[in-house]
Amino acid sequence: MGFVIAVDGPAASGKGTLAARLAALLDFPVLDTGLLYRAVAVRLLAAGGDLDDAEAAGAAARALDLTELDHAEVRTRAAGEAASRVAVHPGVRAALFDLQQNFARQEPGAVLDGRDIGTVICPDAPAKIFVTAAPEVRADRRWRQLTSQGETVAYDDVLADIRKRDERDSGRAAAPLAQADDAVLLDTSKLTIEQAFDAARRIVETARARSGNLPG
Ligand code: C5P
User: By alpha-carbon position, which residue is closest to atom 1 of ligand 1?
Assistant: 34
Closest atom, ligand 1, to C-alpha of 11: 3
Q: Is the pLDDT of residue 114 over 80?
A: yes
Give, rounded to a whole angstrom, the gap between the first and last alpha carbons of the chain.
18
- Find the 201 Cα to ligand 1 centroid distance in Å: 23
To 10 degrees, the CA torsion angle through 144, 148, 153, 154?
A: 30
Q: Is the pLDDT of residue 107 over 70?
A: yes
CA dist., res. 35 & res. 103, Å (int): 14
Band (1; pLDDT cuts 50, 70, 90): confident
The answer to whether the beta carbons of residues 75 and 68 sit under 8 Å apart is no
- Mutating to test ligand 1, I would choose from 17, 98, 115 the residue with most ligand atoms within 8 A of its C-beta, which is 115
Q: Name the nearest CA neighbour of 17 among 179, 181, 200, 210.
A: 200
CA dist., res. 133 & res. 203, Å (int): 17
Q: Is the pLDDT of residue 216 over 80?
A: no
All structural domains of the chain, each given as residue ranges with its CATH number in brackets, are: 3-211 (3.40.50.300)
* Mean pLDDT for the stretch of residues 97-112: 97
**Pocket around ligand 1 at a 6 A CB cut-off:** 11, 33-34, 37-38, 80, 83-84, 87, 114-116, 165, 169
Query: What is the tens place of the pLDDT at every residue in 34-57?
Result: 999 999 999 999 999 999 999 999
pLDDT of residue 85: 96
DSSP 8-state symbol, 119: I
